[in-house]
Amino acid sequence: MPTQLHTSTHHHFPPPLLHRTLILSAHHRPILRRLSVIHGRFRVTNCTKSSSENTVTELVKAIDGQKTNEQLQQQQVKKAYPFHEIEPKWQHYWEENKTFRTADEIDTSKPKFYVLDMFPYPSGAGLHVGHPLGYTATDILARFKRMQGFNVLHPMGWDAFGLPAEQYAIDTGTHPKITTLRNISRFRSQLKSIGFSYDWDREISTTEPDYYKWTQWIFLQLLKRGLAYQAEVPVNWCPALGTVLANEEVVDGVSERGGHPVIRKPMRQWMLRITAYADRLLEDLDDLDWPESIKEMQRNWIGRSEGAELDFVVINGNGEEAQKRITVYTTRPDTIFGATYLVLAPEHPCLSSLLSEHSKHVEVYRELAFKKSDLERTELQKEKTGVFTGCYAKNPANGQAVPIWVADYVLGSYGTGAIMAVPAHDTRDFEFAMKYSIPISWVVKPDDSDCGNFKRPFSGEGSMINSSCSESGLDINGLPSKEAASGVIQWLEKSGNGKKKVNYKLRDWLFARQRYWGEPIPVIFLDDTGEGIPIPETELPLTLPELDDFTPTGTGEPPLSKADSWVITKDPSSGKPARRETNTMPQWAGSCWYYLRFMDPKNSSALVDKAQEQYWGPVDVYVGGAEHAVLHLLYARFWHKVLYDIDVVSTKEPFKCVINQGIILGEVQYTACKDEEGNLISADSVGELAQYKQERIPEEKVMKSGDVFVLKDNPSIRLIARTHKMSKSRGNVINPDDVVSEYGADSLRLYEMFMGPLRDSKTWNTSGIDGVHRFLARSWRLCVGSASPTGSYPDGTVTVDEKPSIEQLRSLHRCIDKVTEEIEATRFNTGISAMMEFINAAYKWDKLPRSLIEAFVLLLSPYAPHMAEELWCRLGHSNSLAYEPFPKADAAYLKESTVVLPVQINGKTRGTIRVKETCSEDEAFRLASLDTKLSKFLDGKSIRKRIYVQGKILNIVIDMQKKAKVVQQ
C-alpha cells in the first residue's frame, strides 16, 4: 500500500507543516519508494490532531534524514546532469507529436524494418529490470534503422488472457478484465518512462473483442480444413485450479502455479492437427536466421524418426494366439530378435482387456502414473518402475512368447503407446530388465568387439548375430544394421506383420482450457444429436459473457457453463436448440498471430490487408526469452503456414531472425555458514551446506580476496556468493521505476546494454549504473558546460563553428564506424565503449567543432534518446533528431596516418617506432637512433648498411667488431 496522508476538516496542520507535507509526493517520491523498502510503509488514517501532526512531522524528518544520509551522499553522481527535467520533457514531446507513429500509407519504395518484442503478459507485479533488456535492444535497432531511412514498424501490445488473471479474480472477487486493464496501464506507463519508441497507435490486447474476433476466425479456418477436431485424450487435470494444464505447467505432480495436486484423466478436448505440418515445420528451419540451439530444440521437439510398425499377437492362457494384436513402433527393426518383452503405456487402450489376476496391481500402478507429467515419466535419471500384466505376446520373428509389462516410461502419446523392449541394446530397457530379471539377448555385435565381452547395453550399429529363424523365414545374421533393418521391413510387409513407418514425437496441440478468461471457441452443439457446428463468420466476435462467479465447478465443466443465458442458443441455419462450447482457447492462441495484426490493427474486414502484409512481412528481428524457444515459436509457425496455405500471408515463415536475450540475475547474495553453537565458519571447511545454518551478510561487510569473497572484519571466513533469477519470493526484484527515478531512463538503458553481450546472462549490480551515469554526465558537461553554483546550466552548447582538425575527424569517424558495426551486430556493449573512447579524446581538445558534436549526438541517440534530443535542441535544431540521417564513416579518416615500424638490428627485432606512412629512410633511422631502447644497440657501432621497406620494416646491419668513427645522422 502506498504512503497515505489523509487530512480532513477536523485535523488542522500548521501551514508550514501542511506545505511541507503537500510537496512530499512530488519532490520526495523517489525517497518514499526507498523508505517503503527500508523502513516499512507509513500509514496515517483516522488519527487525532496531535497524533497526525506528530506522525507527519516524524515522516518529514525521516524523509529529510533519508535524503541527508542517502540522496545527498550520492547527489554528485546521481544529479550529475538534469535527467529529471530532460526525460519527462521529451517523452511528452514524442507523445504529443506522435514522433514514432508509422503511417498507414507509406512510401513502399523505401526499405522496411519490422522489429518486434515478444509481447508481455501484463502481470500485477509490473516490470522488473530484466524486462527492459530485450526492449532496449529492439529500441536501439528501431531508432537506428529510422535514421538510416527505413520505414520502421516497432509496436507493443499485451498477451492478456490467461490463468493468472483468472486465479486472481477467484482469490479476490475482482473481474479479470478490471485487473488486466489496471496491469496494462501500469506496464504501459513503465515502458513510456524508459523512452521506448513504440508506435502506441498500434497497441493491441488479446482480450479485446476486435482482436480475438480474428483469433476465432483463424480457428474456423482450421476447423474447415480438418485441422481442428475433438478427441478423448488423457490430460493433466488440476481440480483446485479447475483446468487442464500443459505438461510444462506441472512439476513433481503438482501445478507450477499454486502447488496444487494434478492428476491424469481422460477428457474430451479440442485438438489442433499440428502433426500434419510436422515435415514442413522441420524442413523450413534450415532457412531461418535463428540461434542454432533454438532450431535444434524445435527439431528435437518435432522428433522425426524412421522405423517400422510391427504386430505382436497376444497369447492366451493356453498358449494359443488370441484375436488381439499389440502394435509397436521401433526405430531399430534390425533388433527384432532381441525383443524379450513388451511395455505398454499405463494409458494404452488395450490394457484393460489384457488384465488377469494381476489387474489390482496394474490399476494401482496406473493411478500413480496418472499423477505424473510426461516430463517426469520420461526423465532419464529416474528409477524405472513397472508391473507385469500376467499376459504374453508372440515375437513374430522367432515365435517366442514375451511377457507384457506396464511401465510409465512409455507414453501413450508417442508412437503406438507400446514398445518392443530390447534390453541388450537400449539403456532404459536394460535397466528395467536387470531390475525385474527379464532375459537379455544380444543381437548386434560392434564391428571392433566380441559379443562375449558385453556387460552393458550397446546401442550403436554393427553386425547382426543370433538373428535367424527358419520357421519365420527371416535371416539377417551377418548383415550390417542398416541393411538388416531394410531386410526386416521388407519381411514385415511381405508377411503382413508390419510396415515401414515415419513417426514424430510431436503431438497434436491440445487447444482447450476449462477456464473463463480466454477466447470463446466459436462452435455450438445441437441438443438432439450433439453435432458440433461452427458459428457463421458474420457472427464473430463471439464475446465472453459477464460473469460474477469465476470459481471452478469442480466437475470439469468450465466456468462458462454457469452462464445459462449465453450457453443456451439456437443453430442459426436450422433453428434447432443448441449449446455453446464452454471451453476457452489456451493463452497461446492470441500470441500465435499478433505480429500480423500489428501490420494493420484497425482493419475490421480482414485479419490483415494483403498489401500491408506483403510489405511488412516477415518480422525482420524478433527478440524474446529462450523460454519461448519451442512452444510459442512452434505454434506461431504452424498457424502462419496454415495462413500461407489459404493465401492470407505471402511468406512461409513469420520471423526472419530470432534473438534470445540473456537473463538478468538478481544482485549477488552473500551468506555465511554457522555451526551448532552459532559461530561463523568458513564455507571452504564445510561439507554438505544443507547441514549448516546460513546467515545473509550485507554487501558492505564483504570484500573480495582473490577469486573468493570473505568477511571484511574476519577474512578467514569465506562466504558463499550466489545469484538467482529475480523473483518476489527471493526478495531480489529490482524495480526499474526506482532506477529511472534515481539515475534516469538513459542510464538504465545504457547500463543494461553495457552489462555484457545481449545474448549472455548477466548479474545486476545497482552500483554498476554509476559508471554509465558518469559517462552521460561527462557527455552533457562536454557539450553544455558545467553547472552554476545554483545547479542550472547555460543555454545552448559550448561548441564552436570551426572546421575540425584531421585528428578530430579521425577520432569521430573511428567512433562512427565502430558504433555502426556494433549496432548492426547487436554488440551494443562495445558500441558504448567506442563512444566512451570518443568522449575521453574530446576532453583533450581545446575547442569543440559543432559538426563533430552533432555527429556524436546522433550516434548517442539510439542508446540515450532523451539526452540526445536535448543536446540536439541546444545545438540549434527545432525538430526531433529521430529521423535525422545516421552518420556514415568516411573511409579516408579510418586509415591510420602513422604506422608502427619494426626495427631490426642484424636481422633481429629489437623494438618498434611510430612513423608516418610516407616516412623516408633517413627519418626512420633518425627516429630509431633517438629511441632509448634502440639507441643502446647503435651507440658507437659502425653501420654497414640499412635495409628499409617504407611502412614495413627497418633493418640496420652493424659491424660488431668496429666502432664508428662518425655517428651517421
- pLDDT digits 0-9 by tens, 502-545: 989 898 998 998 889 999 999 999 999 999 999 999 999 999 99
Closest CA to 112 of 71, 82, 142, 68: 142
Lowest mean pLDDT among 57-61, 564-568, 680-684: 57-61
pLDDT at 121 over 80: yes
Q: What is the DSSP string of 131-196?
A: THHHHHHHHHHHHHHHHTT-EEE---EE---SHHHHHHHHHH---HHHHHHHHHHHHHHHHHHTT-
Our measurement of the distance from residue 208's CA atom to the centroid of its chain's CA atoms, rounded to an integer in Å, reads 25
Predicted confidence at residue 522, as pLDDT, reads 98
Q: Is 588 helix (H, G, I), strand (E, B) or coil?
A: helix
The DSSP bridge pattern shows strands 680-681 and 908-916 to be: unpaired
On the question of pLDDT at 575 being above 90, the answer is: yes
- What's the confidence (pLDDT) of residue 38? 31
Q: Is pLDDT of 11 > 60? A: no
Spatial contact of 738 and 30, defined as CB atoms under 8 Å apart: yes
Whole-angstrom CA distances from 284 to 273, 622, 637, 641, 695 are: 18, 17, 10, 10, 53
Query: How many residues are there in the chain?
Result: 969
pLDDT top residue among 18 and 797? 797
697: closest CA among 726, 724, 720? 720
Has residue 364 got a pLDDT over 90?
no
| pLDDT value for 668 | 84
Tens digit of each residue's pLDDT (9 = 90 or more) over 267-301: 889 999 999 999 999 999 999 999 999 999 999 99
The mean predicted confidence, pLDDT, of the chain is 86
727 vs 812 pLDDT, higher one: 812
Beta strands 474-475 and 498-503, pairing class: unpaired
Q: Give pTM, 2 decimals.
A: 0.80
pLDDT of residue 412: 83
Which residues have CB under 8 Å from 576's CB, separation 6+? 526, 527, 528, 570
Q: At residue 340, what is the residue type?
A: T
What local confidence, expressed as pLDDT, does residue 548 receive? 85
Work out the average pLDDT over 555-570. Answer: 91
Query: And the C-alpha cell for 484?
Result: 538388416
> Quick one: pLDDT at residue 360?
81
pLDDT of amino acid 372: 73
Per-residue pLDDT reduced to its tens digit, 850-878: 999 999 999 999 999 999 999 999 999 99
pLDDT over 70 (residue 899)? yes
Q: Which three cell numbers stand for residue 666?
A: 538478481
Res 692 pLDDT > 80: no
Q: Which residues contact 539 (CB under 8 A, 6 or more apart)?
A: 522, 572
How far is 281 from 291, CA to CA, in rounded Å? 16
Dig out the grid coordinates for 189 from the structure. Answer: 506507463
pLDDT of residue 968: 44
- The DSSP element (H or E) to which 708 belongs, if any, is strand 708-711
